[in-house]
Structure 1
């Protein structure tokens, strides 16, 4: 009995750990027929210290299955701060990830003080210097200035100077960026921030310096709406030059759970969260985007990559009705011998499989949403999508 109890406890613990991690995200968009289609996705992987060690970006529309498009990999020091971040792009010809950029971080007393960005040189298969960013910290352990450099082939040349202004609550009110013109630092861009009574960011304005009129011109503005728990429920991005709203993002949450209870990719990786805002207090479920569709976060499984390339021509097989409420019929005009049918969710997780009676699929018990259906004939397959009403 003790062995059974111990076994069940281990299984429960493993399951609980899996559920306490944000593992993937899927972004969908509406096509011309007003049907939701997969667009992009991401898989997140963590180490034993709950640090994000890889974020793999995926694309869907080009191959009708999930394929790698790029990957960020992270290594950490003993203080769980990122030392190296390598970004790689996927080469569809060689089917391999290829180096693109690398960031090397240096810390002093636990604070990041230098980042060197390098680009991959394919001609000699080595990393080449590109940019260097430095930060200085004040007595309150907050960053207050920075210098950014470009590599000119032999040395670091000054490019941008950053001055940070904080209020009495150690919140950023402005970031001033000046560019080096060869002799002097001159105004370039400015970021102005305002907060509510709870010291939460509510407005972020970006301005560019107008040399002709010698004044600042606001170019973009982002407004934040927060709920009583401090979650950002909406972000509205406005082009200030013509006062048009370019994009609105609305978040949804599970307010019964705290985001800090879940291992997630939003955690501060290098100690610079001070420069941005973490919008999620409660468990974030996803968001809708007025321009790009909807994104859903998945805490139970990762996205499954497509591996099989051979596909049956869509003209020979079709599924109907679409949308479907109870049963989905597979019409096989070319009399392919269908060996099995698999229905999966948008992340690629198998929901049901049929190896018999493959001309009709019972979808009555499926939750509402979009699904993928695959019909296999030997090594070939037919792939389509359907909506469950």
Structure 2
């Protein structure tokens, strides 16, 4: 396997767009001895209002030392610069083409999202699968999000989230309930705490103990550190799996002489509540971040990966094709009630799995595993981001 030892070996194409846009990002993995290997990346394109219109995900091919397209996300906006449609295209290994896979549409009332609908691409048509209806409190902040599944003739209750706020209009609790056929039943809860400057300090999750009728912390939490300007500097994550807790963190770097608002970038709030649970991370120009995994035996952190942001160039494609057959990832069973298996054609171990709900909130993350325990997730549709070596893929699954 060829090692990439310096940033000079990352192939970029200089664009004529200047340096006022974040044009690409590259994820590299630490392969030891001071060497970093390209893994995956993204190119970003914007409209005249600096709205992200296209994110192209790319994968590094070690055999050809070139970048190949993995998938694409297209965004459409209204006159208020809020996203109205997101279409996700992924690779079809049979036809060797990108094709429609998943779509979300956003409906606004008085400038606020009130309806999110989710579609799957089936037999060359968009087929509705789920929808979320969002209700607001008297301060115009989201209070409940109720999700329904289309059963062919009617919408069935699946789950709902209820948010509680403090006096500064920051979310303090997010409670998810599932529909058991006759009533709503508690399932998961996330509790948020804040600094005296109203910056998020940590979030902790808990599951509902149906036998004792109480909340039990499940060991999953995130801690945050911020600098005086308001930039996120460190995010430390604790993930519990099979009785063990895995600790990792991301450390961010900035050009403090420049403001992020001076650049078009993909972190712009697209819906009006993208940063409802966590603060917008960047005030100054973000340069990237390094990921670390904690070793309990040595009580030290080891760098595992890094993400680099580039404002002057986009990634140059080698061969515009989908991933080769030995990188195909299969997720099963889908739908599932308890465990989700991730299988690669070459039977390699998945490096990292991140699960997000359809509102974009991260609900679960695991490292070095090919099986995910989703028993504690609420019913509904989720998005998986799967990292295997130099390959990143996105999949959806339904928790029953």
Name the TM-score, length of structure 2 as normaliser.
0.70
Partners of 1:43 and 1:244 lie apart in 2 by: 34
Alpha-carbon separation, structure 2, partners of 1:275 and 1:134: 18
Task: After superposition, give the CA deviation of every residue in 1:210-231 in whole Å (9 maximum; x if it has no partner).
Answer: 2233221222100001111111
What is the CA–CA distance in structure 2 between the aligned matches of 1:112 and 1:146, rounded to whole Å?
11
What are the equivalent positions in structure 2 for 1:2-41 lying under 5 Å apart?
18-31=18-31, 35-41=35-41
Residue 151 of structure 1 corresponds to: 150
Match of 1:260, SS state, is helix
2:97 is aligned to 96
SS at match of 2:80: coil
- Given candidates 305, 313, 317, the residue that maps to 1:293 is 305
Long gaps (5+) in structure 2: 1-14, 294-303, 322-400
- Secondary structure in 2 aligned to 1:100? strand
- The answer to whether residue 266 in structure 2 is matched with residue 265 in structure 1 is yes
For residue 131 of structure 1, what is the aligned residue in structure 2?
130
**Residue of structure 2 equivalent to 1:58:** 58
Quickly say closer, same or farther: Cα 1:21–1:213, change in 2 above 3 A.
same
CA distance in 1, matches of 2:262, 2:193: 29
What corresponds to 2:364 in structure 1? none
**Larger Rg computed on CA atoms:** 1
Post-superposition CA distance 1:177-202 (Å, at most 9, x none): 10000001000111100000111001
Partner SS for 1:179:
strand
Q: Is 1:253 aligned to residue 265 of structure 2?
A: no
Aligned length: 293
Task: Report the Cα distance in structure 2 between the residues aligned to 1:221 and 1:308, rounded to whole angstroms.
Answer: 39
Contact 1:236 1:245 survives alignment (8 Å)? no
| Matches of 1:240 and 1:165, distance apart in 2 | 25
Query: 1:44-67 deviations in whole A, cap 9, x for unaligned?
Result: 000111110011111114553111
**3-state SS of paired residue (1:31):** strand
> What residue in structure 2 maps to residue 304 of structure 1?
316
CA distance in 2, matches of 1:23, 1:213: 52
Q: Equivalents in 1 of 2:272, 2:131: separation in Å?
A: 17
Larger proportion of strand: 2
Q: Hey, what's the Cα distance between the residues in 2 that align with 1:66 and 1:211?
A: 49
Shift of 1:240: 5.2
Relative to 1, partners in 2 of residues 1:120 and 1:94: Cα closer, same or farther, differing over 3 Å?
same
- What is the correspondence of 1:202-281 to structure 2 with a 5 Å cutoff? 202-219=201-218, 220-239=220-239, 244-273=245-274, 274-281=276-283
Aligned 8 A contact 2:69 2:320 in 1: no
Q: Which residue of 2 aligns with 1:79?
A: 80
Instruction: Report the Cα distance in structure 2 between the residues aligned to 1:82 and 1:284, rounded to whole angstroms.
Output: 23
TM-score (norm 1): 0.72
Q: Shift of residue 263 of structure 1? A: 0.7
Deviation, 1:141, is 1.6
Aligned to 2:186: 187
Give the root-mean-square deviation of aligned CA atoms: 2.0
Q: CA deviation at 1:235?
A: 0.6
Q: Distance in 2 between matches of 1:308 and 1:112?
A: 36
SS in 1 for 2:18: helix
Structure 2 equivalent of residue 42 of structure 1: 42
Shift of 1:259: 0.9
* Mapped partners of 1:259, 1:99: distance in 2: 32
* Structure 1 counterpart SS, 2:315: coil
> Contact 1:42–1:56 at 8 Å: present in 2 too?
yes
**Greater RCO, 1 or 2 (C-alpha within 8 Å, sep 6+):** 2
Deviation at 1:266, TM superposition (A): 0.3
Match of 1:337 in 2: none
Residue 218 of structure 1 contacts residue 240 of structure 1 at CA under 8 Å; is this kept in 2?
A: no
